[in-house]
Amino acid sequence: MLSYSTVIFITIICGFLIPLSEQQYTPDWKSLDSRPLPAWYDESKIGIFINWGVYSVPSIGSEWMWWLWKGDKPNVNIVAFVNNNYPTDWTYADFAEQFHAELYDPNEWADIFAAAGAKYIVFDSKHHEGFTMWPSKYSFNWNAMDVGPKRDLLGELANAIRNRTDIVFGLYHSMFEWFHPLYLTDKNNNFQTQFFPNVC
């Protein structure tokens, strides 16, 4: 079950904050900018945002590597890197098999974050590549349990943070997926269709 603080971070990332009151907000900047920050968040001096996923395998171009490689305007340096280091038939999905997370120790991470004075953590549970860092039933064979680490990376970190620290644990979860076939269908239809769910 998600805690209130987890829900806050999910909704902050999506652009909406669930307030303690029943205040309603409209989808315009004036209304959205009027949302109050929770006091604990406003007073926090250190927070940690963790981007980690399949893109860590090639370790080039940030978490946007796949888009920089195969998107609308490929980055020549990323394309050259892949061409020079991987077989010609290599796909982004092939990187997932090499995403082992063999040195991942969530207890150690929790201890380091606490020692650093962090008051909150936001973990990248799913970026625009669509790979989930937990065993999602909606992301069959494109999640950390079915391919790569064969572990619930998100769940392990959540448990470590909650059991070893008083740090608020939050999630980033992108609903957008660059190359999802349903999203590409909507894009090709000038977004006049809505086959791909766009909750955030």
Q: What pLDDT sits at residue 169?
A: 95
Q: Give alpha helix (H) positions in 116-180.
A: 153-164
Q: Would residue 198 count as lying in a domain? A: no
Any idea which residue has 């077989």 for tokens?
87
The answer to whether the beta carbons of residues 158 and 120 sit under 8 Å apart is no
Q: Would residue 34 count as lying in a domain? A: no
Q: Identify the domain containing residue 169 by its residue range.
A: 49-188
Both tokens of 79, joined, read: 């394309």
Q: Would residue 117 count as lying in a domain? A: yes
- pTM (two decimals): 0.79
Q: Would residue 36 count as lying in a domain? A: no
Q: Would residue 18 count as lying in a domain? A: no
Q: Would residue 15 count as lying in a domain? A: no
> Per-10-residue mean pLDDT for the chain, 200 residues long?
39 42 79 86 91 95 95 96 97 96 97 96 95 90 95 97 96 90 90 74
Q: Would residue 63 count as lying in a domain? A: yes
Q: Would residue 116 count as lying in a domain? A: yes
| CATH code for the domain of 175 | 3.20.20.80
Both tokens of 115, joined, read: 């020692």
51 Cβ neighbours under 8 A, 6+ residues apart: 62, 63, 124, 127
Taking the C-alpha atoms of residue 49 and residue 125, their distance in angstroms, rounded to an integer, is 11
Taking the C-alpha atoms of residue 172 and residue 199, their distance in angstroms, rounded to an integer, is 14
Number of domains in the chain: 1
Angle of CA points 192, 14, 131, to nearest 5°? 80
Strand (E) or helix (H) holding 66: helix 65-70
